[in-house]
Chains A and B, each alone.
Chain A
Amino acid sequence: MAATDVEIARLPASVELKRPARSLWSDAWHQFRRHRLAMAGLFTFVTLVVFVLVGPLVYHTRIDNIDFTMSLKGPSPEHLFGTDDLGRDMLARAILGGRVSIAVGITSVLLAITLGLTIGALAGYFVKLDSPLMRLTDLFLSLPILPLLLVIVYLFRDSLRAAFGPELGIFLMIVGVIGILNWMPVARLVRASFLSLKQKEFVEAARAVGDPDSRIIMKHIIPNVLSPVLVAATIGGAILTESTLSFLGLGFPSDTPTWGRLLYDAKDYIDIAPHWAFFPGFLIFLTVLSINYVGDGLRDALDPRKTS
């Protein structure tokens, strides 16, 4: 008898062990892992980030080692990505360029999301602010972004360089400009979610227990609004924009390599040194493609209609 008692006492525990609690995120991760291309994208992106972060610690070739005897050589065991017109090692330049490109992408997206979240939240929560803020959003959406970006960068480059130094100045400007011209879609989405969420019971409950507006917005609504899909979608776009600017010769100065800048320098030599243009271009493509696939996987994983 004693033995059965023990068995019965054990039973519920063992049943519980078989099926652990599932949260939204473990569900999403479960779903995400089944999306093979998204997993491949995540793997590629992480590899690229490790490549640019750890690269300089392992690979010691200097980016500004000028050697004219090695000028415009294709890939070789000594220089895996080949060399440019001054004989500088392209692998080292591509690693450093990736640091700048990915840093610009992530920072400018943080800025765009912060701006978009603030404006969207204010417009969605406070009825009085809705109409003026949405007018402002529509106005920004009507601006021709790329041409305007080109003009701003060209006109204000020198004064920023004087104020913050050549690298930080340009970095701040490019991040700032991309952020300021890309927050509008975020603001629109956030506003739409706020409009529907603020009618929900849990918000009403929070108000009933006396939470101030700031706490309702920050603690109750925003966690429901933020979607990683949004982040993924905008990072790819920001990296593309930076490389486009650099490619048009209006990004970073030539002593700061970024993937776009390397392509810009390479484009006049594509007939004799195609490898020079290929590697940075391929890295941009790989980064953006992997981010887009991760975004696609996240969209599927977080869509409650698809969870099985």
Chain B
Amino acid sequence: MGRYVLRRLLIAIPTLIVISFVVYAILALAPTDPLASFGADPRVPPEVRERIRESLGLNEQWHVRYVKWVIAIAHLDFGYSFMSRSPVMDLIWQRLPNTLAVVGVAYVIGVLLAVPIGMISAVKRYSVFDHFSTTFAFIGFSVPTFFTGLLLIIIFSVKLHWLPFIYDSTLKITSLSTLGDQIRQSIMPITVLALFDTATIARYTRAEMLEHLPLDYVRTARAKGLKERLVVLRHVLRNSLIPVVTLVALGIPAVFGGAIVTEQIFRVPGIGELLVRSIGQGDTPVVAAILLIFATLVVLFNLLADVLYGVLDPRIRYS
């Protein structure tokens, strides 16, 4: 097992290096000037601008800049934001709790709902419940999150005035009523995200269960007189969940990507919102940092998914 993890780790490192290079190349090739905001100001004379470029190291060869950048990042130093002049890491740490409170909770709810839904609709195939959940799943992953979001806002905020449509991140939970406010403002963004996650994972769980139900070991379990409940929960579900677990792990980075849209609709000041805003402002250090963090998450969770698969299914490890 240890050697298997080690081998997977060694593959992850070059992947990360190449990704950092791709991110750097895209940002470096782009025809935008980091000093564009100074360029518009006629009071800055050309010599001064040249000296600023010199002091920022912008005149050095691109590979020298890349190596310096990578070394800084290896020390978790992402530099300073062009706009707010504060360290990029501080900005990200400020935003992270908001993203996790919405995206994280939505994903957990999604997984907790999806597994039972998928299981029941596989066991009771073609029943009313199955048709209902299949239709629900298809709608769930066909409807764009921005449309669900806007629809919920129209219904629950504009027409019914039940829920606020702007997320207030300054809210501190001190009493029961502020806790209520927090729940009220989180309901819509969480529903939007959870709908999508539940749909995808439930569909997958159902397909996996259906693969396993007709197999011989299930018949054996039934033949030795096990109760149907135990057959489904102990035997079929356990084996079907192996690929589902890896799907759940692989989906976590994608969830952060999907949150970009949801955070935009409900004005949740999270990481996705920070990314869109920084792209609009040409704030390269922040953009680079968020891209790299997303990429690292993808690589990390790929690794985790592979290792989990190895732990849960011993046949994988030796091949």
Contact = CB atoms under 8 A, between A and B. Distances in A.
A21 interface: no
Place the interface of chain B in its size category: 35 or more
Interface in B233-278: 253, 256-258, 260-261, 264-265, 275-276
A270 B139 CA distance: 22
Interface stretch (B61-69, B117-125, B150-158, B177-185): B150-158
Nearest to B276: A248
A154 B150 contact: no
Nearest to B138: A292
A39 B290 CA distance: 44
Contacts, number: 120
A285 B147 contact: yes
Nearest to A145: B257
B139, B144, B261, B287: residue with the most chain A Cβ atoms closer than 10 Å: B144
A116 B150 CA distance: 35
Interface stretch (B14-22, B47-55, B70-78, B84-92): B14-22
Mostly helix, strand, loop or mixed at chain A's interface? helix
B243 to A, nearest CB: 15
A293 B146 CA distance: 21
A247 interface: yes
B291 A144 contact: yes
B279 A150 contact: yes
B142 interface: yes
Contact of B151 (A155, A281, A292, A296): A281
**Chain B: interface secondary structure?**
helix
Contacts of B144: 240, 243-244, 247, 281, 284-285, 288
Given A154-B280, A247-B146, A144 B151 contact: no
Contacts of A271: 157-158
A270 B275 CA distance: 24
Interface in B19-35: 19, 22-23, 26-27, 30-32
Contacts of A282: 147
A156 B27 CA distance: 10
A158 B33 CA distance: 13
Interface of A: 138-139, 141-148, 150-152, 154-156, 158-159, 236, 240, 243-244, 247-250, 260, 263, 266-267, 270-271, 274, 277-278, 281-282, 284-285, 288-289, 292-293, 296
